[in-house]
Amino acid sequence: LYFSAQEGILFFYHIKGMQYEMKICADILQPISSLTFSPDYTVLLLVTDQGTVYTYKPVHSGEAVKLLDTCCSCFLRADFLTPGDKYCVSVTISGEVQVWFLEDGTCLSKLNLDIEVCVT
């Protein structure tokens, strides 16, 4: 079970029966608004309240890597484009939908919806 705290800390709870073990995986110093696993569960996307997107690879147990940073408006959500875990799609508050190459954070495509977006 992966869990984020208001302080921007990503936790991992290993639960077995009535026992559990907690581990701090990453501290990104910004509140995390959403966590999304890739379809094969090898990469975790972290989106912060400030609109920054990080990747975290649980198998490697390394630090979260900043992938995308907000330019003109904050990312509300990000998710993987399937199949695979090479691309993600994001949406901003201003209604811009973007497709990203996860390896280097290159924006491959964008579409402006011309409406303000909210996520529930």
Closest CA to 74 of 91, 89, 98: 91
In a domain, 117, yes or no: no
In a domain, 42, yes or no: yes
Alpha-carbon gap, residue 36 to 78, rounded angstroms: 8
pLDDT top residue among 84 and 107:
107
In a domain, 53, yes or no: yes
* Claim: this prediction has a pTM higher than 0.85: no
Alpha carbon separation from 56 to 23, 25, 60, 119 (Å, rounded): 14, 9, 9, 23
Query: What is the tens place of the pLDDT at every residue in 37-96?
Result: 998 888 888 888 887 888 898 887 778 888 877 555 577 888 888 887 889 888 888 888
Percent share of the chain, pLDDT over 90? 8
Give the range of the structural domain holding residue 86, as residue numbers without chain letter. Answer: 2-112
Alpha-carbon gap, residue 33 to 16, rounded angstroms: 27
pLDDT (0 to 100) of residue 70 = 59
CATH number for the domain harbouring residue 55: 2.130.10.10
Q: Looking at the predicted structure, is the pLDDT value of residue 104 above 70?
A: yes
In a domain, 108, yes or no: yes
Query: What is the domain count for the chain?
Result: 1
